């Protein structure tokens, strides 16, 4: 096909040997994508992707899972240069695409396409199916208009639709068929790499199965490489060769699918896997229910991103004997303090506080009563709590948090962990527990939640 010619800028670069084995298609190193505040004073950026590194091998399916807001979609979009990377490199066959611009970028994009989550909003309702699928061909001026029409019809065949559908409009199709149209459009330029952003989340389970089968068939037929973004772990388990688990802009664990699902190394993966409801009512599992919600990516924790919710957080040695429930309450207290620190206090609140009326914040006593009223608090913990209470009463939450961290913090809160190799198969985990100093995650979870 003629587009081999236009491949040139990249094709010449691929001849340059890369530093790793030739099997690798995409190398991502220290990638960061921040959303800056557009305001005059700037302020803190939202750290959607905060330093990730991984490889994608040719022909494989890499799964990317995580909760909403963890940055998985942003990562996918950055890989396709739909978002500008703040820092780091994305080497696609050896070329750093973050530096590409203008015509080079336009040409490169033939190679990498995306399927979006919601088939209701990713197709233009005013265009016929033919026009939608043909658009990428038109944009890249692929051969003659006649050949384009022919190609579109072939594509409709490929994804399991009929050629007559060319002249129909999107509203005449069901969700599953619309997703097929979306996939046909993606394949129009014969890309090597496709980002699938939750392609089946909006579909019913039986339709979902059809689309998954189709994706697998297409991969075999055209030798595609997929980045499969999803929050449904059972789909990922079925489809992917390797999985990366993301939390708050960081990859917490990456490894071969089977190994990661049967023997997760990171506490977050443990919790995520145990939270999936099994379609089998007889299964009795010890579910690890995580407390609270992920932190605001504008204010990520200083240490490990997962430290605020971690079920296996390292606790300071002097408080190791405290009750688990008391630890939960202490964590809630810290969350409350940091939330209050950021909550804006209106003039009305300040006035009410001055004249001694109830403010919407409630008093520290009420909070303490709610949190620790039914707990046995040892004296040494109580003395720290008293100190925090004094500070919180004066609305010095920042200082109160500092006191809290001084007493109850640990390496998890202070230092970001490093990636540790868990096995030989490229299975890595981002957690302090993998150093020899501390007990293993499995043992701790068994102990605390077993």
Partner 1 sequence: MSVATSTDPILDVRNLQTAFFTEKETIRAVDGISFDIRRGETVGIVGESGSGKSVTARSIMGLVDSPGRTLRGSSVQFNHLETVREYASKFPDRTVDLETVAADYDPVALFDRETVDLTPAAFGCENAADVPLADIVAAGYGDELGLVDEDDCVFVTDGSPDTPTEIDDGFVEITRLSGEPRRRMRGGRIAMVFQDPLTSLNPVYTVGNQIKESVRLHQGLRGEAATQEAIDLLEAVGIPDARRRVNEYPHQFSGGMRQRAVIAMALACEPELLICDEPTTALDVTIQAQILDLLADLQAERDLSMMFITHDMGVIAEISDRVNVMYAGEIVETADVNELFTDPRHPYTRGLLESIPGQQSGDRLQTIEGNVPTPNEPATSCRFAPRCPKAFDECDTVHPVPVSVDEGADDHTAACLLCPEHRSTDDAIDQHRRRNARRTGGDTE
Q: How far is the CB of 293 from partner 1 (least distance, A)?
A: 5
Which residue, 101, 79, 188, is CA-closest to 140?
Answer: 188
Burial degree of 199 (CB within 10 A; 0-12, 13-18, 19+): buried
Residue 336 in the binding site for partner 1 (CB under 8 A): yes
- Residues 258-277 as x/- pattern, contact with partner 1 by CB under 8 A: -------------xx-xxxx
Minimum CB separation of residue 135 from partner 1 in Å reads: 27
Determine which residue in the list 278, 321, 374, 437 makes contact with partner 1, applying CB under 8 A: 278
Size, binding site for partner 1 by CB under 8 A:
51
Question: Using H for helix, E for strand and C for coil, what is the string for 292-304?
Answer: CCCCCCCCCCCCC
For residues 445 and 263, is the Cβ–Cβ distance under 8 A?
no
Contacts of residue 283, defined as CB under 8 A and 6 or more positions apart, other chains included, come to none
CB of 14 to partner 1, least distance (A): 32
Site string for partner 1, 149-178 (x = CB under 8 A): -------------------------x-x--
Q: Which residue of 99, 150, 172, 213 would you call a contact of partner 1, by CB under 8 A?
A: 213
- Report DSSP state, residue 44: P
Please give the Cα distance from 33 to 54 (Å, whole number): 15
Residue 228's DSSP bridge partners are: 63, 196
Q: Does 12 bind partner 1 (CB under 8 A)?
A: no
- The residue from 13, 96, 190, 216 that contacts partner 1 (CB under 8 A) is 216
Strand pairing category for 87-92 and 193-197: unpaired
Would you say 429 and 253 are in contact if contact means Cβ atoms under 8 Å apart? yes
d(CA 382, CA 72): 41
β pairing state of 225-230 and 61-65:
parallel
Binding test (CB under 8 A) with partner 1, winner from 44, 106, 163, 360: 360
Q: Which member of 234, 341, 375, 440 binds partner 1 (CB under 8 A)?
A: 234
Site string for partner 1, 370-409 (x = CB under 8 A): xx--------------------------------------
Q: How far is the CB of 344 from partner 1 (least distance, A)?
A: 10
Which residues, 6 or more positions from 342, have their beta carbon under 8 angstroms from its beta carbon? Answer: 299
Q: Are 185 and 194 in contact (CB under 8 A)?
A: no
Q: Which one of 280, 374, 424, 437 is in contact with partner 1 (CB under 8 A)?
A: 280
Options 41-49, 140-148, 162-170, 363-371: segment touching partner 1 (CB under 8 A): 363-371
Nearest distance from C-beta of residue 118 to partner 1, angstroms = 13
* Interstrand relation of 428-430 and 419-421 (parallel, antiparallel or unpaired): antiparallel
Q: Which of residues 209, 353, 384, 402 is near partner 1 by CB under 8 A?
A: 209
Q: In what order do the strands lie in the sheet with 419-421?
A: 112-115, 193-197, 225-230, 61-65, 242-247, 250-256, 428-430, 419-421
Q: Which stretch binds partner 1 (CB under 8 A): 300-308, 332-340, 373-381, 435-443?
A: 332-340
Binding site for partner 1 (CB under 8 A): 67-68, 174, 176, 204-210, 212-213, 216, 231, 233-235, 237-239, 271-272, 274-283, 287, 289-291, 293, 332, 335-336, 339-340, 343, 360-362, 366-367, 370-371
């Amino acid at each position: 096909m003629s587009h081999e010619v236009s491949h040139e800028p990249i094709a010449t670069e691929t001849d340059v040997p890369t530093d790793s084995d030739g099997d690798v298609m995409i190398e991502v190193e220290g990638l960061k994508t921040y959303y800056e505040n557009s305001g005059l004073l700037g302020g803190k950026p939202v750290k959607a992707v905060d330093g990730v590194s991984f490889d994608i091998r040719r022909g494989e399916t890499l799964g990317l899972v995580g909760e909403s807001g963890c940055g998985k979609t942003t990562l996918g979009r950055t890989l396709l240069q739909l978002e500008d990377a703040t820092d780091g490199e994305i080497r696609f066959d050896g070329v750093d695409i973050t530096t590409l611009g203008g015509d080079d970028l336009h040409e490169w994009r033939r190679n990498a396409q995306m399927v979006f989550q919601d088939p209701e909003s990713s197709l233009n309702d005013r265009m016929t199916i033919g026009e939608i699928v043909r658009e990428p061909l038109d944009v890249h001026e692929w051969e003659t208009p006649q050949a384009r029409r022919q190609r579109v019809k072939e594509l409709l065949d490929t994804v399991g639709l009929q050629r007559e559908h060319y002249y129909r409009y999107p509203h005449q199709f069901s969700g599953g068929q619309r997703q097929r149209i979306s996939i046909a459009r993606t394949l129009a330029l014969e890309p090597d790499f496709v980002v699938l952003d939750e392609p089946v989340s909006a579909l019913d389970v039986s339709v979902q199965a059809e689309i998954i089968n189709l994706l697998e068939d297409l991969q075999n037929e055209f030798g595609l490489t997929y980045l499969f973004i999803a929050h449904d772990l059972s789909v990922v388990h079925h489809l992917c060769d390797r999985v990366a688990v993301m939390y708050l802009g960081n990859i917490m664990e990456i490894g071969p699918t089977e190994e990661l699902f049967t023997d997760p190394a990171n506490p977050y993966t443990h919790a995520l896997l145990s939270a999936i409801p099994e379609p089998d009512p007889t299964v009795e599992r010890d579910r690890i229910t995580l407390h609270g919600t992920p932190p605001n990516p504008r204010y990520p924790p200083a240490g490990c991103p997962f430290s605020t919710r971690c079920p296996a957080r390292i606790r300071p040695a002097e408080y190791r004997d405290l009750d688990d429930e008391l630890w939960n309450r202490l964590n809630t207290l810290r969350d409350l303090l940091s939330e209050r620190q950021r909550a804006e206090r209106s003039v009305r609140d300040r006035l009410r506080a001055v004249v001694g009326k109830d403010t919407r914040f409630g008093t520290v006593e009420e909070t303490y009563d709610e949190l620790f009223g039914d707990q046995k608090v040892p004296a040494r913990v109580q003395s720290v709590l008293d100190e925090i209470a004094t500070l919180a009463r004066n609305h010095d939450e920042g200082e109160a948090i500092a006191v809290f961290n001084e007493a109850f913090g640990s390496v998890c809160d202070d230092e970001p962990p490093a990636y540790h190799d868990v096995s030989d198969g490229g299975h890595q985990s981002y957690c302090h527990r993998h150093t020899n100093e501390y007990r293993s995650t499995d043992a701790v979870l068994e102990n605390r939640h077993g």
